[in-house]
Chains A and B, each alone.
Chain A
Amino acid sequence: MNSLAEYSVISAILFALGLVGFVSRRNLIIIFLSTELMFQGIVLNVVTYARLHGNTDGQAFGLFMLVIAAVEAGLALGMIVLIYRRRGTLDAEAWSFMRG
């Protein structure tokens, strides 16, 4: 049996890789794929801590995070299709004129 610290190290790596992809890629679809990658890291971390404390609360939260991921994917992909139809490109830089 491994110690649980290794699982949290793996989840931190997955989360940070998702962050790198989110910041550096320009394709809108890959940006949202990177957020899903971050979700995977968080689910792994939450379940690790549930195992650590010996209860199932973390697994319940993991299930709710699956719901959030599904909601996010549905809405975000609908918006991506709209954006693609309007501009004909998936480049995030094509919308750089939108400044706060």
Chain B
Amino acid sequence: MTSETAYLLYFAFALGGAGVYFLLPRGAETRPTVGALFGAGSLIALLLVLSTRVITPDHTTYYFYLFSTLAIASAVRVITHPRPVYSALYFILVVVSVAALLVLLEAEFLAVAAIIVYAGAIMVTYLFVIMLAQQSSTPHYDSRSREPLLAVMIGFILMAAIATRAADITTSHTATNQSRPHAASPVMLVTDSATDESLAGNDKAKPVGNTLLVAASIMTRYVVVLEIAGVLLLVSMVGAIALSRKRVPMEGYRPAVTPLGQIGKEVEPF
């Protein structure tokens, strides 16, 4: 990364930090229009930086710009919207945009799995909890953030550090990998794994699907991790049932039938 693009990237991050600071809810001091202007400027500067690095523009480039803009803008709305329901809905937009970026990276199986698991399962759970805990008006803790200036400064300095470093590493690796032709080929091959010969040895010219490669990787190299993930899911299911089974009294609320000191003891712990 040359120094000019790095400074332009820092400029974009500074603009974005100002935008997020103005957008974060701070009671009556929130300035949504100012924040939106700063954010739009930051996005334009970011797209300028990214457009200097395109090798050969084709249709995936425009899809990349569209979905990365959508992902960043809705991520900002997730953390700045004062109402949790809208935050959850904007998060679904983030998930869909990131899934589209994963498709551009030729990780189709992971993209579809992310949409099903996140947008289909996790976000429904979130929405249920939000509806359970909903209050009629916007409560004061939603319209006031905690130390917005400090949080934005720390977060955006970290963002600049990670982004420039990751871009440098990725660029240098891409430069070294260009000598290996299969690394940049559209069909990804399992290069240095034990499954390489068994998969690609049958027919080297035949294109291998992404799902087959991921499945081969999970079922051979990472089969222990797969088992541990299953056990983890089971443990969390047991834990969630045990958590929600216990009756917890509200503070200051005394049921008439239960004598004092017996609250919460109706269910035997197991």
Q: Residues on A close to B: CB < 8 A?
A: 1-21, 23-27, 29-30, 32-34, 36-37, 40, 43-45, 47-57, 59-60, 62-64, 66-71, 73-75, 77-82, 84-93
Contacts and interface: CB of A to CB of B under 8 A. Distances in A.
Given A5-B166, A17-B78, A43-B98, 13 more contacts: A5-B170, A6-B53, A6-B167, A12-B162, A13-B16, A13-B75, A24-B79, A24-B151, A60-B225, A69-B118, A70-B236, A75-B239, A90-B133
Interface residues of B, number: 110
Nearest to B159: A16
Interface of B: 1, 9, 16, 20, 24, 46, 49-50, 53-56, 58, 60-61, 64, 68, 71-72, 75-76, 78-79, 84, 87-88, 91, 94-95, 98, 101-102, 105-107, 109-110, 113-114, 117-118, 121-122, 125-126, 129-130, 132-133, 139, 141-142, 144-148, 150-152, 154-156, 158-159, 162-163, 166-171, 173-174, 177, 180, 182-184, 188-193, 210, 213-214, 216-218, 221-222, 225-226, 229, 232-233, 236-237, 239-240, 243-244, 246, 248-251
Contacts of B156: 16, 20
A85 B102 contact: no
Contacts of A52: 170, 173-174, 177, 183
B42 to A, nearest CB: 10
Given A1-B56, A1-B58, A12-B163, A53 B214 contact: no
A42 B246 CA distance: 35
A95 B80 CA distance: 22
A93 B166 contact: no
Given A8-B167, A81-B129, A88-B250, A69 B117 contact: yes
A88 B248 CA distance: 12
Nearest to A93: B141
A3 B98 CA distance: 17
A37 B91 CA distance: 8
A53 B79 contact: no
B193 A24 contact: no
Contacts of B248: 82, 85-86
Contacts of A29: 84, 87-88, 126, 129-130, 133
